[in-house]
Structure 1
Amino acid sequence: MTAEQAPLGRVVRALADDPGIVGVLGRREAVVAVPEAARPLALATLAVESTRRPVVVAVPTPTEAERIRSDLALYLGDDAVALFPAWETLPFERISPNVETMGRRLEVLWRLRDPATSPQVVVASARALVQRLGPGASELEPIVVGVGDQIDIDEMARALVDAGYRREPQVEHRGNFAIRGSIVDVFPSTEDAPIRIDLWGDEVDRLTEFSVSDQRSTIARSEVAIHAAREVVASNEIAEHAAQLVATQPWGREQWERLSDGEFFDGMESWLPWLVETDDVLIDHLADDGLVVLVEPRRLRDRAGDIIAEEADLARTLARTWGAIGADDGDDDFPRLHLPFDRILTGTNAPVWTMTVAPEGPDVGVVAATGWESPLGDPPPLVNQLNRLIGDGYRIVVGADGSGTAPRLAVVLAEAGVHLPVVD
């Protein structure tokens, strides 16, 4: 889906000539002030009007990242906007992150490697930006299966296990796979439904989604990309590193031995800081022809600082609990999962733009916008605002959740004196 085909794709062009937008295009460093109400539209317009791809949008919190990603998809199309999520787990917590979270992160890194598959926009929170990546995470390839492909079912099973998938009698959750005769069922980490691979001999005869509840096939597929279900996957590099840790960090012998044996276990990702020697983060994989937009940079920096401080407090406590006492603070031997905010921009030569809520100087470009009044009251202030804007010559676009909601919304507005046509 292109921006023009997106639900609100045509609205993007309406802001293209705004002085605040035009003033930052083509610059390596720029600041633009955009009220929060207009932030998604302004970001979508910058992504369309800029010649740079992809655009990494950095926001302070995971909730804001999810909301911005959802809003941008309405302007640019769902496939054009990717969320790079942060782990939901705390540093050193012996619980694995959600399988979908890890899969989405690996999918974004994989897409960034090729301009043909790269999303137009990647949205990430401060936590996602400052988190170190797993060893070799940016190099992991998905298992791609298409109708007509020749595959060996035993090799397929080994590849799925190596990618962190768990073999079960029946597939019920992401990260599961099952084999029944010539049928391979797998629930990819990034898919909304599990996939059934029907083989005729060694050839893929049919690919379908199927229902978890009744296991019946539903929607036919021509191809599926199965991304890894874990960010820390079995490799010689990890096994060798873990084996060395048995001698140098004996307090963690149980975990190091399990990792060196290539074992998958819940919470293994919490040991990632000990298994990587590089400070690899998302923006390191942004090409020079990309673009970074820092939304509310002061809040971004403050949030990143809070994350670093939280991890340091946990390290001090756990170093004593686990018997891994280093120097006076007791945490010097603990490598960190998160890096300082100043580090995240050092690995790319892409331009960096800043988006603030209000102008912080006379030379800062501004996208003028106001929020909406309350829909409550008799008459609702929102209705008065709509009538006033229509009277002033503004074009009004009211979005609805679905095609069934739009006609009802038009009727309600008409009863309040606001007459708007319904557009498919």
Structure 2
Amino acid sequence: MALLRAFSHFSAREIPAVDSDTELAAAPSAHGLILSMVTESTPLLIVAPSSRVADEIRDEIISYTGKEVLEFPPWETLPHERLSPKSDTVTKRVSTLHALATRPAQIQAVVTSIRGLIQPIIADLLSEEFPVLEIGAECGLQQLVLNLSYLGYARTDLVERRGEFAVRGGIVDIFPADCEHPVRIDFFGDEIEELRFFTVADQRTFAPVTGSLTIYPCRELALSEDVKKRAASLAAEFPAIAEMCEKISNGISVEGMESLAGALKPEMSSLLSFLPENFKVMIIDAPRAQSRSADLISTNEEFLEASWSTAAMGAKAPIDFTDQVGAGGYFELEELKNEASRRGFSWRELNSYQSNPELENSLDTFASVPIYNSKVEPFIEDVKSWFNAGYQVIFSAMGSGILERYRDLLAEEELPVRIIKEVNTALTNDAIYLLTSHVNHGFISERFKTALITEKDISGQRSSSKDSARMPSRRKKAIDPVELKPGDYVVHEQHGVGRYIELVQRTVAGTSREYVVIEYASSKRGQPADRLFVPTDTLEQVTKYVGGEAPSVHRIGGA
């Protein structure tokens, strides 16, 4: 779907140039449209205030343009948190950076969250060549095994999870972190004779792999010889972390070893350093993004102090390790803004409101559609009014079943209705068009006589509900803090079972936000329980405990 073609009667000329100083402000429901029009001529790094907003904007731009939009997800963990990010997250990050480096002319948009922007990246992450598998290619089995181990894949007897591989004679099974199913590689000597997907349940192949398959790392911290030497040196200097460092020095990947990245690979870069020269930076909802950035930096510093300034790994005395690992901490937003200026990247903001309402705003022609809260009658009356006034009226849903239902409802009112599968040219205003897309909320423009309405505008639903082919590890059912009672048990994806205490409001960098307070067992005997403050707009990693008996509360970190 390339929905933007339907709106050829207005163009990106209505939007101030990305390099200009004009403030950009528009209704949030029009952000996807505006960004899509900009990316038609200007490649963008789009930075959203949260991962949820980033996912929604990416899906909308794909629906509007029909083109590829790269995703750069943040780690689920903090840089100094002694937990490793998920393998599929790492693979997605590396594959995006690799695409920017190898085919920059084909990329018009990269979407990330503020957390993804401020997180440091190992400077030489792309210095290694990643294995490319295809039938007929010369690829020694033993060399492939060494490469997989180096890239962070774990060798097992039976492949069941992403990031695992197994070897049986001349066959290698591997579960790439960016694939829905594992892959079986059948060798004839050093040549790949067959590549097929197989199912985890019965380990049987079911479909061939078409084309080539690039194997990206499962960990961003590769265990190179230099890293091994640094780990051995740290083990001797800091006995408290000797167990972890000794394993790393022996080439063994350890849970949470990324928290040592600042000491093992101190040469860090920002995402900006991986962007092609013609890119621009666009920050969505800048006040909220700045608040989130300040909050993340503060929380990460607390984890740094808690992890390395107290007794660790069974040590009897605290260790002062903050100077060594500090390089791996988040960048300040102002620091990145200065870097963008040095590199010649334009840095713009697209907000929901103007800082000065009295100034002229060319984007105020795009207004939000009313929320109907499942009341169909007002929706039909509005559609009639717009259609009779000569508006171009489009209704969008995420499934064909919804389209058929609304086609029947509108047809009962004797309105001309057409369901279309593709948009190839501008749509006329002699019918109401129904189509499928991942646009979350619509907009109205009196100036251009256009109305786009979505099923979520009618239902009143604000959160994403699309049934897409996401990785199973990404499926979450976030809690509603309003439904929690003090003492309820909740499960944080990284830290495990905790107890809900309260909903509080804190002010960070001049912006107030609500936080869910979760209590965990004390990390030190005889000390008060630890508490974790989770912003209410980033609750995708927290679910309500549904077990039968009262569980034991974990320590922060999941122990």
Q: TM-score range by the shorter chain?
A: 0.7 to 0.9
Using the TM superposition, give the Cα deviation of residue 350 of structure 1 relative to its aligned residue in structure 2, in angstroms.
1.7
Using the TM superposition, give the Cα deviation of residue 83 of structure 1 relative to its aligned residue in structure 2, in angstroms.
1.3
Using the TM superposition, give the Cα deviation of residue 139 of structure 1 relative to its aligned residue in structure 2, in angstroms.
2.7
Give the structure 1 partner of residue 494 of structure 2: none
| Contact residue 280 and residue 347 of structure 2 kept, 8 A | yes
- Counterpart AA for 1:75: Y
Using the TM superposition, give the Cα deviation of residue 277 of structure 1 relative to its aligned residue in structure 2, in angstroms.
1.9
Distance 2:106 2:258 in 1: 26
Using the TM superposition, give the Cα deviation of residue 9 of structure 1 relative to its aligned residue in structure 2, in angstroms.
4.6
Task: Decide which structure has greater strand share.
Answer: 2
Using the TM superposition, give the Cα deviation of residue 367 of structure 1 relative to its aligned residue in structure 2, in angstroms.
4.7
Give the structure 1 partner of residue 396 of structure 2: 399
Give the structure 1 partner of residue 387 of structure 2: 390
Distance 2:393 2:318 in 1: 62
Q: Identify the structure with bigger relative contact order (alpha carbons < 8 Å, sequence gap 6+).
A: 1
| Contact residue 30 and residue 354 of structure 1 kept, 8 A | no
Give the structure 1 partner of residue 41 of structure 2: 49
Instruction: Give the secondary structure class of the aligned counterpart of 1:63.
Output: helix
Shift in CA distance, 396/118, structure 1 to aligned 2, threshold 3 Å: same
- Counterpart AA for 1:406: L
Moved more, 390-399 or 145-154: 390-399
Shift in CA distance, 378/16, structure 1 to aligned 2, threshold 3 Å: closer
TM-score of the two chains, using structure 1 as the length reference: 0.88
Identity fraction in percent: 26
- Counterpart AA for 2:84: S
| Contact residue 31 and residue 365 of structure 1 kept, 8 A | no
Using the TM superposition, give the Cα deviation of residue 246 of structure 1 relative to its aligned residue in structure 2, in angstroms.
2.8
Task: Pick the aligned partner of 1:320 from 307, 310, 323.
Answer: 310
Give the structure 2 partner of residue 66 of structure 1: 55
Find out whether 1:305 has 2:294 as its counterpart.
yes
Distance 2:196 2:158 in 1: 16
Shift in CA distance, 334/147, structure 1 to aligned 2, threshold 3 Å: closer
Gaps of 5+ in 1: 1-5
Matches within 5 A, 1:28-107: 29-50=21-42, 53=43, 55-77=44-66, 80-107=68-95
Distance 1:375 1:417 in 2: 21
Using the TM superposition, give the Cα deviation of residue 344 of structure 1 relative to its aligned residue in structure 2, in angstroms.
2.0
- Counterpart AA for 1:359: Q
Shift in CA distance, 243/410, structure 1 to aligned 2, threshold 3 Å: same
| Deviation sequence 1:233-280 (CA, Å, 0-9, x none) | 111221222233234444322222222222112221222222232341
Give the structure 1 partner of residue 354 of structure 2: 359
Instruction: Give the secondary structure class of the aligned counterpart of 1:398.
Output: strand
Find out whether 1:291 has 2:280 as its counterpart.
yes
Moved more, 144-153 or 407-416: 407-416
Distance 2:214 2:381 in 1: 50
Distance 1:235 1:145 in 2: 23
Task: Pick the aligned partner of 2:17 from 24, 28, 36.
Answer: 24
Q: How many residues align?
A: 409
Instruction: Give the secondary structure class of the aligned counterpart of 1:320.
Output: coil
Give the structure 1 partner of residue 499 of structure 2: none
Distance 2:375 2:304 in 1: 56
| Contact residue 79 and residue 119 of structure 2 kept, 8 A | no
Shift in CA distance, 40/275, structure 1 to aligned 2, threshold 3 Å: same
The CA RMSD over aligned residues, in Å, is 2.5
Matches within 5 A, 1:158-237: 158-220=146-208, 221-237=210-226
Moved more, 149-158 or 352-361: 352-361
Distance 2:85 2:363 in 1: 40
| Contact residue 231 and residue 264 of structure 2 kept, 8 A | yes
Instruction: Give the secondary structure class of the aligned counterpart of 1:155.
Output: helix
Distance 2:95 2:66 in 1: 18
Instruction: Give the secondary structure class of the aligned counterpart of 1:83.
Output: strand
Using the TM superposition, give the Cα deviation of residue 376 of structure 1 relative to its aligned residue in structure 2, in angstroms.
4.1
Shift in CA distance, 106/118, structure 1 to aligned 2, threshold 3 Å: farther
Distance 1:383 1:237 in 2: 67
Gaps of 5+ in 2: 422-559
Instruction: Give the secondary structure class of the aligned counterpart of 2:112.
Output: strand
Using the TM superposition, give the Cα deviation of residue 97 of structure 1 relative to its aligned residue in structure 2, in angstroms.
1.0
| Contact residue 244 and residue 254 of structure 2 kept, 8 A | no
Instruction: Give the secondary structure class of the aligned counterpart of 2:417.
Output: coil
| Deviation sequence 1:164-187 (CA, Å, 0-9, x none) | 111222222111112333332211
Give the structure 2 partner of residue 411 of structure 1: 408
| Contact residue 161 and residue 167 of structure 1 kept, 8 A | yes
Distance 2:10 2:381 in 1: 24
